[in-house]
Amino acid sequence: MKNLCLSIILLLSIHQLRAQNTQLCDSTFSYQLEKPKYPQNNGPVVWIDEAHNNFHTKDGRYCGFTQVLEAEGYRVKSNSKALDEANLSACDILVIANALDEETALRGWRLPNRSAFSSSEIQAVARWVSQGGSLLLIADHMPFPGCNAELAAAFGFSFTNGYSVQTTPNQPSSVFSREKNSLLPHPITADIPQVASFTGQAFRLPPGAEPLMLFGDDHLMVLTNQAGQVDPATNPSFNLKGWSQGAVMAYGQGRVAVFGEAAMFTSQSIRAGNGELFRFGLLHPTAAHNAQFLQNTLQWLSGELGWDVSRETASAICAQNFGMEEGMRSGDMQEVADFYVDDGIVTSPGGLLASGRAQLDAYWGEFAGLDWRLDVVALAPTMEILEETSAYQQLSSSFPAWEAHLPQRELGELVYQLGRSHLSYTGRGTKRLSIVDFLLIWEKQADNTFKILVDTYR
């Protein structure tokens, strides 16, 4: 298949491979906001990773990305340190864009591509996110998916180490729109009619992830041994209908956003062999809404978007979820039971499981020392608002009725949590993983802490 679309894709990828220094941050890009989200340099701390041979860095090819964030008031810093929990404690949002392993960076972008991150770094990042950190992971076309696949897999995402290529001629960018149902409903996309990307990769999602950018049947994944050598007529390929190029997910008390294309969030230029300058990214005509899309994504990662409660309340609920995880892992099941009010209830599709302090203590006493992760998927002040969230509407069935079991007393301030439980255990000699959607109703106490009034799962 030879067309203008493929020619432009080859232009970009070949110049990345053979003349990487000619693909530059576009100096003509400028971004300002009349009403930034945060006072200047007073927002959440954002680290852009530069410790892993990253093709996109804060003051390099991601200078446009940096401009958008700094205009919103984020404190954007570059990171040159190994990723461990001690270092990560100084940052709120970690951005990893197109990391490379040392060998791939030095010998050219060809197979094999090894992980850019050590196993200890991957474990540290996953643990940090589960405790409330936020990760924006971006891996473009081959070889970047190969170098980031192990980190992505720690969160359940499955990268494809190839190129996403359009089958429609004369299209320099891939457009995802609400009109085509390829830009999906989510708080991030609520005010966005379309976004554009520029080649990239595609990936599969884990349970609980919410797709934002979804390919139709007009794109192929083309596999190659060497970056830039992309020809659907000779290279192995398959149709990408239903595959994602952007998605988000709650992970423990933190959040993860994953994208399979990097240029869409910055502004770059590249000079062709004939001297013609080609601009792509935020200044491209099809990408007029990409900057707002980036702003919304960062607001979602920082907890300012998607939770219909205050940031303080969200932090308090997340801390309680983490405390329950720690109680389970340590085997202190009384600690887990104490997260419930004395007249709290637990229900299931089979009916009422526990009601009141004695039954709650007995119920949790049957568990001990298991590996447990609780995802905070959505928070809302009422059940009606929770039911309107995109995450709730993705559920295949509703939760069992609990209203008849509520204690007959005046209730305090309530917060409704949609969550997902990941419980690892050994059964019949085999390690197993149970994933269950749950609903918690938290009641605010006199000391301003929250305890569980209702716990139900489906």
- Per-residue pLDDT band for 26 (boundaries 50, 70, 90) equals confident
Q: Between helices 119-130 and 144-154, what is the axis angle to 10°?
A: 50
More confident residue, 396 or 240: 240
- Per-residue pLDDT band for 131 (boundaries 50, 70, 90) equals very high
Percent of the chain at pLDDT > 70 equals 93
Encode pLDDT of 262-300 as tens digits. 999 999 887 776 777 778 899 999 999 999 999 999 999
Percent of the chain at pLDDT > 90 equals 66
Residues 24-45 have a mean pLDDT of 88
Does residue 21 have a pLDDT over 50? no
pLDDT for 238: 95
Residues 353-381 have a mean pLDDT of 90
Phi, psi of 10 (to 5 degrees): -65, -35
Does residue 353 have a pLDDT over 90? yes
- Per-residue pLDDT band for 306 (boundaries 50, 70, 90) equals confident
Residues 413-440 have a mean pLDDT of 87
3-state SS, one letter per residue, for 54-92: CCCCCCCCCHHHHHHHHHCCCEEEEECCCCCHHHHCCCC
pLDDT for 428: 67
Does residue 79 have a pLDDT over 90? yes
At residue 389, the 3 state secondary structure works out as coil
- By the 8 A CB rule, do 422 and 433 touch? yes
Does residue 218 have a pLDDT over 90? yes
- By the 8 A CB rule, do 400 and 347 touch? yes
Q: d(Cα 346, Cα 355) in Å, to the nearest integer?
A: 7
Full set of structural domains in the chain with CATH: 4-301 (3.40.50.880), 311-457 (3.10.450.50)
At residue 291, the 3 state secondary structure works out as helix
DSSP-assigned states of every residue in 123-177: HHHHHHHHTT-EEEEE--STTHHHHHHHHHHHTT-EE-SEEEEESSTT-SSEEEE
Q: Tell whether the torsion through CA atoms of 268, 57, 139 and 231 is positive or negative.
A: positive
Instruction: Determine which of 161-165, 282-286, 352-356, 365-369 has the lowest per-residue pLDDT on average.
Output: 365-369
pLDDT for 397: 81
Instruction: Determine which of 95-99, 133-137, 318-322, 391-395 has the lowest per-residue pLDDT on average.
Output: 391-395
Residues 68-95 have a mean pLDDT of 96
Residues 238-249 have a mean pLDDT of 97
Residues 373-398 have a mean pLDDT of 87
- Per-residue pLDDT band for 35 (boundaries 50, 70, 90) equals confident
Prior bond to 232 cis, omega within 30?
no
pLDDT for 19: 37
Q: d(Cα 114, Cα 334) in Å, to the nearest integer?
A: 44
- Per-residue pLDDT band for 10 (boundaries 50, 70, 90) equals very low
Instruction: Indicate the residue type of 28.
Output: T
CA distances from 420 to 233, 309, 434, 439 (A): 43, 19, 10, 9
Residues 367-379 have a mean pLDDT of 85
Encode pLDDT of 158-182 as tens digits. 999 999 999 877 677 899 998 899 9
Give the number of other CB atoms < 10 A from CB of residue 94.
23
Encode pLDDT of 427-446 as tens digits. 666 778 888 999 999 999 99
At residue 377, the 3 state secondary structure works out as strand
- Comparing CA positions, the residue from 372, 361, 360 lying closest to residue 407 is 360
pLDDT for 206: 94
pLDDT for 432: 81
- Per-residue pLDDT band for 11 (boundaries 50, 70, 90) equals very low
Residues 252-258 have a mean pLDDT of 96
Does residue 426 have a pLDDT over 90? no
- Comparing CA positions, the residue from 203, 239, 458 lying closest to residue 348 is 458
- Per-residue pLDDT band for 120 (boundaries 50, 70, 90) equals very high
Query: What does the mean pLDDT of the chain come to?
Result: 90
- Per-residue pLDDT band for 22 (boundaries 50, 70, 90) equals low
Encode pLDDT of 83-102 as tens digits. 999 999 999 999 999 999 99
Does residue 4 have a pLDDT over 50? no
Give the number of other CB atoms < 10 A from CB of residue 439.
22
